[in-house]
Every structure is written in structure tokens, then in C-alpha cells.
């Protein structure tokens, strides 16, 4: 089995990749790119990795660069590795314009760009997507609440079971609390409410609203109650009955289970990345899909 020689760029959130990069036989982690913190020095020493603190220092070739640096540094870091014929896995979303530029470089150098939309591998979100795909009735419409920080992954989830957007988003309302859009996807229309930061102290570092999605059908609805919450199947109440809950798929989690589910999602993303790079087997992490997602994302954040 070919091992992908890998460099991990960013050891803050990027550290979630470490256990699998070390444990999976498909990968050979040999270096990190960091800002030179004591934490990154400790990681590099314990794991016997090269520790680069700038792109200019890098003097070896890699098969894969996992890029989990700040959003501001993502484009230049990605560009550097693609120009050096290294496939990349992006942790943070970037604009459609930047992603298109990177894709041109990747095609020229015959390497891959992958985007880790790991929320679609979360247990409860996966359950919601499966329920939507298995629905027996026609989908009448979808209502979505999200926050700016979860917007990209929200579109990713919708794209998974609704197909591509077929028209640019149309804004219906813009006030101090939120923006409201309507978006035409392949399978139905979506009303999307994007909540704004609530104060000057709110820097979008946390999500007030994660992924709240309701699918409406003729006689019932399916609801994803939050990024980590339950999936609820609800029927239209029968006459003289207040009962309308068909089923609750309770995937609500405590913090430890949340971390475990996140790690499993990272694990799935890494294996799918390996498959795409080695065999060029297209899957949901392929760049064509994320070019479509980034196009609508860029429209909504512009």
C-alpha cells in the first residue's frame, strides 16, 4: 500500500488530525508547519517530525498537505503546495474566486484539491441526510437557520441531498438580526436565514445557530434541530389529536461523545481523501462539488 507523505499545516485545530495521521497506514506524517509555539515544538519533538515555521523553510516534497491554518493564510499556503505538486486538504472554506484559482494550479500540476466538509459525516447529520434521501413523499420546501460561521457547511449539507443550486440566491430581507434568502436547488426551494453577530464582542468565533434545517413534505416534516442535536420526524396532527411526533432520532451528545463523533468524521474524511488521491475515485470531497458550493457561499457572504 502506498503511503501518502503528509505535512500538517496548523497545530491548533489541526491537531485533531494527528491521531489518525499517526495511526492510519495510508499516511506517513513527517512534518508540521506552525508558528513556532511551544505546543508545536512539543508535538514535533514527541513525534519526531520536522517543524517548519515558514513556507520558505520547506525543502522537501510531500504527497499531501493538510491546511488548517487561519482563514487569512489559507490561500497562500494552499497555493504554495499546489505549485510544488502537492495535493491539499482544506479545513477552512475560501471564496469561489480563490478556489477557482487554486483549481487551475492543481490541474496544471496534476494534483488534487479536497475540502473537508466533515459535518456531513457527523452521526446525527448523516441520519438527517439519509432520512431526506429515503423520504417517500415529494419534498415541498426546506427552511434553514444558520450562522455565518456555519454557512459553508450548511450549504454543504443541503447540496448533499438537494443537488446543485440552479439560480443565484435572492434576498428577501436584511435587518439588524439576520439576512433572509431564497435559493433554488435542483430538488426544491430553500429559505435560508443567516443570523448576524449579535454585538461588537461577537466575533463569530462561536455559533449561536449551527445547522437547523426543516424539510417539509405533504404529510410530515423532518427536522435537524442543531449541529449536534436530534433529528425529529413529525406528522401533520390528525383530527382531534395533539400528537404529531412520529420518531425522534436522539443523537444529542455530551462533550466527550461530541469529540468522539468529530474524530470519526475526521477519520472518514481522511480515508476518502486517500481514495480520491490514489485512485482518482470521485466522491463527495471532489473539487467539482466544492466549486459549486463555494460559488453560492461567496454570493451569500459578499
Q: What is the pLDDT of residue 207?
A: 45
Query: Residue 83: helix, strand or coil by DSSP?
Result: helix
Q: What is the pLDDT of residue 60?
A: 94
Tens-digit pLDDT profile for residues 63-118: 999 999 988 899 999 999 999 999 999 987 889 999 999 999 999 999 999 998 77
Banded model confidence at residue 247, pLDDT cuts 50, 70, 90:
low
Domain map of the chain by residue range? 4-115+261-301, 120-252
Whether the predicted model's global pTM rises above the 0.95 cut: no
More confident residue, 263 or 217: 217
Q: Is 280 left (phi over 0), alpha (psi -120 to 50) or beta?
A: left
Taking the C-alpha atoms of residue 155 and residue 177, their distance in angstroms, rounded to an integer, is: 20
Residue 128 pLDDT > 50 = yes
Quickly name the fold that domain 120-252 has: Dihydrodipicolinate Reductase; domain 2 (3.30.360)
More confident residue, 37 or 184: 184
Banded model confidence at residue 296, pLDDT cuts 50, 70, 90:
very high
Q: Let me know how many helices (H) and strands (E) the chain has, helices first.
A: 8, 14
Place domain 4-115+261-301 in its CATH homologous superfamily: NAD(P)-binding Rossmann-like Domain (3.40.50.720)
Amino acid at each position: 500500500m502506498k503511503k501518502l507523505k503528509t505535512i500538517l499545516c496548523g497545530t491548533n485545530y489541526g491537531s485533531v488530525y494527528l491521531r489518525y495521521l499517526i495511526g492510519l497506514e495510508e499516511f506517513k506524517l513527517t512534518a508540521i508547519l506552525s508558528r513556532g509555539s511551544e505546543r508545536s515544538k512539543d508535538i514535533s519533538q514527541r513525534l519526531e517530525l520536522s517543524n517548519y515555521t515558514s513556507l520558505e523553510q520547506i525543502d522537501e516534497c510531500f504527497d499531501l498537505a493538510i491546511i488548517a491554518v487561519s482563514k487569512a493564510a489559507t490561500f497562500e499556503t494552499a497555493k504554495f503546495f499546489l505549485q510544488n505538486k502537492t495535493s491539499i486538504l482544506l479545513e477552512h472554506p475560501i471564496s469561489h474566486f480563490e478556489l477557482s484559482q487554486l483549481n487551475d494550479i492543481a490541474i496544471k500540476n496534476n494534483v488534487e484539491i479536497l475540502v473537508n466538509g466533515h459535518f456531513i459525516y457527523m452521526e446525527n447529520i448523516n441520519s438527517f441526510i439519509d432520512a431526506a434521501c429515503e423520504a417517500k413523499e415529494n419534498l415541498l420546501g426546506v427552511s434553514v437557520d444558520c450562522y455565518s460561521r456555519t454557512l459553508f457547511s450548511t450549504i454543504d449539507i443541503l447540496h448533499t441531498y438537494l443537488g446543485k443550486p440552479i439560480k443565484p440566491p435572492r434576498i428577501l430581507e436584511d435587518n439588524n438580526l439576520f439576512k433572509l434568502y431564497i435559493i433554488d436547488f435542483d430538488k426544491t426551494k430553500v429559505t435560508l436565514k443567516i443570523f448576524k453577530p449579535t454585538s461588537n464582542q461577537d466575533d463569530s468565533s462561536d455559533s449561536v445557530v449551527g445547522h437547523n434545517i426543516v424539510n417539509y413534505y405533504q404529510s410530515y416534516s423532518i427536522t435537524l434541530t442543531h449541529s449536534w442535536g436530534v433529528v425529529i420526524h413529525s406528522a401533520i396532527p390528525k383530527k382531534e389529536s395533539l400528537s404529531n411526533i412520529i420518531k425522534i432520532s436522539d443523537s444529542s451528545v455530551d462533550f466527550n461523545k461530541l469529540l468522539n463523533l468529530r474524530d470519526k468524521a475526521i477519520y472518514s474524511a481522511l480515508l476518502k481523501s486517500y481514495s480520491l488521491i490514489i485512485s482518482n475515485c470521485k466522491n463527495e470531497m471532489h473539487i467539482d462539488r466544492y466549486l459549486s458550493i463555494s460559488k453560492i457561499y461567496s454570493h451569500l457572504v459578499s
